Amino acid sequence: MTLPGRLRDIGLTGVQGTVRLRRRFGYPGRIDADEHVWLTFASVAGTAEVSLNGRRLGRIENGSGEFEATALLKERNILEVEFVAASDQDGLKGEVAMEIRAAAFLREVHMDASGRVSGQVVGPSAGPLDLYVLVDKKTAQYTSILPSPTGEPFSTRVPTGEVRVELIHGGVVWYAVDVASPAEPR
């Protein structure tokens, strides 16, 4: 199956019931001690059970999902996504990716129609990290933030332009997100 795609896109028209998709892949290379491997699903239509190398990672229902997979990785791996499809419209509508992240990272970063950029800083950290919001490659906002395992929220209003949020530790960009501008005018 070429991703993203729905079941009908691979010829499974009129399908209802359980469908299993399987993908084999190798170890992603060298992973530093402060890095973690995540499997991310941008958009799932329907209900999907996700497993890696025979171990259940979790369930995604009509939305996005991400699973920390570092400890389960082997030289050769098998990712399985089992759908309970209500129709052939179900499937993996968005990108499926393997991300190598630092211990702390950004989650659910978005900008609303008023220009407010918000999200969460997630993960462990021995101390605060630097959070920069850049507009047109210039610093628009800066703050120091201590991540938490469940997510430390942040929110700030910025002017119109090309927006990027960076999480920095000791001068090293740990994680960055380019933020899509909302469709509505401000």
Q: Is residue 185 part of a domain?
A: no
Query: Is the distance from CB of 72 to CB of 39 less than 8 angstroms?
Result: no
pLDDT at 184 over 50: no
Closest-CA residue to 65 (of 80, 77, 50): 50
Residue 32's pLDDT band, with cuts at 50, 70 and 90, is confident
Query: Is the distance from CB of 92 to CB of 23 less than 8 angstroms?
Result: no
Predicted local distance difference test score (pLDDT) of residue 37: 94
Residues 112 and 148 in one domain: yes
Predicted local distance difference test score (pLDDT) of residue 1: 52
Show Cβ contacts of residue 82 under 8 Å, excluding neighbours closer than 6 positions: 18, 19, 20, 21, 48, 49, 51
Q: Is residue 63 part of a domain?
A: yes
Q: Is residue 143 part of a domain?
A: yes
pLDDT tens by residue, 127-172: 999 999 999 999 999 999 999 999 999 999 999 899 999 999 988 8
Residues 26 and 42 in one domain: yes
pTM: 0.76
Top-confidence range, 6-10, 31-35, 39-43, 54-58? 54-58
pLDDT at 186 over 50: no
- CATH number, domain at 18? 2.60.120.260
Residues 83 and 109 in one domain: no
Query: Is the distance from CB of 72 to CB of 36 less than 8 angstroms?
Result: no
Give the end of a domain, one of 101, 126, 157. 101
Percent of the chain with pLDDT over 70: 96
- Tokens 């499926």 locate to 96
Give the end of a domain, one of 101, 124, 151. 101
Predicted local distance difference test score (pLDDT) of residue 3: 58
Query: Is the distance from CB of 67 to CB of 55 less than 8 angstroms?
Result: no
Give the end of a domain, one of 45, 79, 101. 101
**What is the pairing mode between strands 35-52 and 55-68?**
antiparallel
pLDDT at 40 over 70: yes
Q: Is residue 186 part of a domain?
A: no
pLDDT mean over 77-95: 89
